[in-house]
C-alpha cells in the first residue's frame, strides 16, 4: 500500500506504462447531468441510452461514473466499501452490465484523501487501483480537489498513481484521465503556483496519462456558460504539441442543454473536434432534443475529431473578430474553423493564404456540418459567421472531385 504524506521527498517519475493508442476517446460522463446524485438505476439508464440514441454507433464507447459514486467509506482493511442502497448489485455487476452492452466503463477517484463530492485514494493508490481492476473498470479519472486541499505535489501524486496502474495489470492498461483543474493562485496563500496548477500538467502528464485537464471546470452540474468554454479553449490551445499519439489535452466535457444556446453548444462541439479533445458528453443524454441528438452524432464532425493523424488544431490567424483555426488531416486535407466569439454576426473573406494553405491557388471546400460542397474551385470564399458561432470546413487544393470522402448529404 502506498503511503503519501505532505512534505515527503519527490517520487521518481513514473516510466510510461502500456499506452492506449488511437484518437481522442469518446463517451458519456455523469457529472454535469446528475452531479453526485448517481446510482445503479441512473447508470443503467445512461448505458441503455448510449445505444438507443445512436451514440455507440457514432463512436461513444465509455460510460463514466464520476464524483458521487462513493463517499469514502472503507472496511477495516482499507478496502472501498460501497453503499448497497446506491449500488444494490455491486460495482462488479455494474461494470458487467456496461460491458454486456458492448461499452467500456470508467470510474472516479481523487489523489487526495477526499474528492469533489466523493471519496479519495490518498494512502490507498495501489489498493484502490487493484479494486477497480478487479471490478473490471477500463478507465479511471483521478481528480485533485483533495490533492490541492492538502497541497501535495501533483507531479508526485499522479506519477505514483500511474505506477499503481502499471503494477495492477500490465497486460490490461486502464485509460488514465488526470484531472487537476486548479488555476494559479486559486486557493488562499496564492496556491497553487504555476508549476502545481493545471497550466503545467502538459509538462509531465503525456508521459503517464491518456489525458490531462488544461484548465478549470466550464461550469457546475446543470449550468454551463459560453464564456467559460471560450476560456478553456484558450487554455487548452497553449501547448498543442503535447497532444497526439494517444495522449490528449483535455479542456473539460461537452455539455449541451445546460445553459448554452444550441448554437453555442455546436460551437463547443466544433472546437473540441478541432483541438483533438476527448469527446465526452456530460449530461442527461436520455432527454436530448432531436437537434442536440443530431449534433452529437454528426459523423462528419466526429471524423475531424477522430482523424488518424491525431494532431491538435491551432489558431493560425484572425480576420476582424473572427479567429481562424486549422487542423491538418490525413490525405492532404485540412479542417478550418472560423470562430466568432463576439456578439455580432461577422462576414469573412477566406483565401488559401488566410486558411494557411501555402502554395495553393484554388480551394475546394465542404461545409462539414451539412456535408455540402460549397466550392469546387475558388480563390476566395465569402462566409458569414454568426455570433458565438463557428463555421467548420474541409479544405484541399481544388480538383475535379469532392473533398476527401466527405458526403454531400
Residue 20, CA distances (Å) to 3, 248, 252, 280 in order? 28, 11, 20, 17
Q: What is the pLDDT of residues 194-242, one digit of tens each?
A: 999 999 999 999 999 999 999 999 999 999 999 999 999 999 999 999 9
pLDDT exceeds cutoff 80 at 134: yes
Is 211 buried (19+), middle (13-18) or exposed (0-12) by CB count in 10 A?
buried
> Is pLDDT of 400 > 60?
no
Q: Which three cell numbers stand for residue 13?
A: 517519475
* Domains of the chain, start order: 26-305 (3.20.20.70), 314-397 (2.60.40.1180)
The pLDDT score that the predictor gives to residue 22 is 83
**Cα(244)–Cα(337) distance, rounded to whole angstroms?**
20
Q: What is residue 12's predicted lDDT score, i.e. its pLDDT?
A: 30
DSSP, collapsed to helix, strand or coil, labels residue 8 as coil
Categorize the per-residue pLDDT at 62 as very low, low, confident or very high, splitting at 50, 70 and 90. very high
Coil/strand/helix, residue 317: strand
Q: Residue 21: its pLDDT value, please?
A: 66
Residues 6+ apart with CB under 8 A from 90: 82, 84
- Give residue 198's pLDDT: 98
What pLDDT band is residue 169 in, cutting at 50, 70 and 90? confident
**Over 60: is that where the pLDDT of 113 sits?**
yes
Flag the least confident range among 12-26, 115-129, 167-181, 364-378. 12-26
- Counting residues of the chain whose pLDDT is more than 70, the rounded percentage is 92
Q: How confident is the model at residue 170 (pLDDT cuts 50, 70, 90)?
A: confident
Alpha-carbon distances of 121 from 62, 78, 160, 315, 357, rounded to whole Å = 22, 10, 11, 38, 49
Within 8 A by CB and 6+ apart from 35, the residues are: 67, 68, 117, 221, 222
Q: Worst-scoring range by mean pLDDT, 8-22, 126-140, 168-182, 320-334?
A: 8-22
Whether pLDDT at 125 is above 80 = yes
The phi-psi region of residue 356 (left if phi > 0; otherwise alpha if psi is between -120 and 50; otherwise beta) is left
Mean pLDDT in residue range 103-107: 98
pLDDT at 4: 28
Residue 9 has pLDDT above 70, yes or no: no
What are the backbone dihedrals phi and psi of residue 137, each rounded to the nearest 5 degrees, phi first? -65, 150
pLDDT tens for 253-276 read 999 999 999 999 999 999 999 999
pLDDT at residue 15 above 70? no
Write the burial class of residue 98 (CB in 10 Å: 0-12 exposed, 13-18 middle, 19+ buried).
buried
Position 13 pLDDT exceeds 90: no
Q: Which three cell numbers stand for residue 268?
A: 463547443
Cell 488514465, residue?
Answer: 176
Q: Is the pLDDT of residue 64 over 80?
A: yes
First-to-last C-alpha distance (Å) of the chain: 56
Question: Whole-number mean pLDDT of the chain?
Answer: 92
pTM: 0.92
Would you say residue 405 has pLDDT above 80? Answer: no
Amino acid at each position: 500500500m502506498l503511503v503519501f504524506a505532505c512534505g515527503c521527498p519527490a517520487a521518481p517519475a513514473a516510466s510510461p506504462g502500456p499506452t492506449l493508442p488511437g484518437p481522442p476517446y469518446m463517451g458519456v460522463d455523469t457529472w454535469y447531468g446528475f452531479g453526485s446524485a448517481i446510482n445503479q438505476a441512473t447508470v443503467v439508464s445512461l448505458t441503455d441510452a448510449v445505444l438507443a440514441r445512436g451514440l455507440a454507433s457514432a463512436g461513444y464507447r465509455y460510460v463514466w461514473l464520476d464524483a458521487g459514486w462513493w463517499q469514502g467509506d472503507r472496511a477495516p482493511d482499507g478496502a472501498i466499501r460501497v453503499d448497497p442502497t446506491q449500488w444494490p448489485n455491486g460495482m462488479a455487476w455494474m461494470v458487467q452490465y456496461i460491458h454486456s452492452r458492448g461499452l467500456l466503463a470508467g470510474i472516479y477517484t481523487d489523489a487526495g484523501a477526499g474528492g469533489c463530492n466523493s471519496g479519495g485514494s490518498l494512502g490507498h493508490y495501489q489498493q484502490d487501483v487493484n479494486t477497480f481492476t478487479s471490478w473490471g473498470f477500463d478507465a479511471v479519472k483521478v481528480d485533485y480537489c483533495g490533492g490541492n486541499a492538502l497541497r501535495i505535489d501533483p507531479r508526485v501524486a499522479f506519477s505514483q498513481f500511474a505506477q499503481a496502474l502499471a503494477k495492477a495489470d500490465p497486460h490490461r492498461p486502464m485509460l488514465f484521465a488526470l484531472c487537476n483543474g486548479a488555476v494559479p493562485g486559486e486557493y488562499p496563500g496564492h496556491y497553487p503556483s504555476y508549476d502545481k496548477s493545471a497550466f503545467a500538467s502538459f509538462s509531465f502528464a503525456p508521459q503517464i496519462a491518456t489525458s490531462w485537464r488544461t484548465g478549470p471546470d466550464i461550469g457546475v452540474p446543470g449550468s454551463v456558460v459560453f464564456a467559460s468554454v471560450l476560456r478553456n479553449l484558450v487554455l487548452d490551445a497553449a501547448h498543442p504539441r503535447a497532444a497526439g499519439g494517444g495522449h490528449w489535452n483535455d479542456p473539460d466535457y461537452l455539455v449541451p442543454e445546460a445553459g448554452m444556446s444550441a448554437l453555442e453548444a455546436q460551437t463547443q462541439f466544433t472546437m473540441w473536434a478541432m483541438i483533438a479533445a476527448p469527446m465526452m458528453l456530460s449530461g442527461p443524454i436520455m432527454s436530448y432534443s432531436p437537434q442536440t441528438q443530431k449534433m452529437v452524432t454528426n459523423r462528419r464532425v466526429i471524423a475531424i475529431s477522430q482523424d488518424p493523424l491525431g494532431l491538435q488544431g491551432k489558431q493560425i490567424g484572425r480576420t476582424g473578430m473572427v479567429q481562424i483555426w486549422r487542423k491538418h488531416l490525413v490525405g492532404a486535407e485540412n479542417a478550418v474553423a472560423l470562430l466568432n466569439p463576439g456578439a455580432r454576426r461577422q462576414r469573412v473573406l477566406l483565401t488559401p493564404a488566410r486558411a494557411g494553405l501555402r502554395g495553393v491557388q484554388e480551394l475546394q471546400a465542404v461545409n462539414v456540418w451539412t456535408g455540402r460542397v460549397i466550392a469546387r474551385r475558388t480563390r476566395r470564399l465569402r462566409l458569414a459567421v454568426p455570433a458565438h458561432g463557428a463555421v467548420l470546413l474541409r479544405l484541399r487544393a481544388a480538383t475535379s472531385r469532392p473533398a476527401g470522402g466527405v458526403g454531400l448529404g
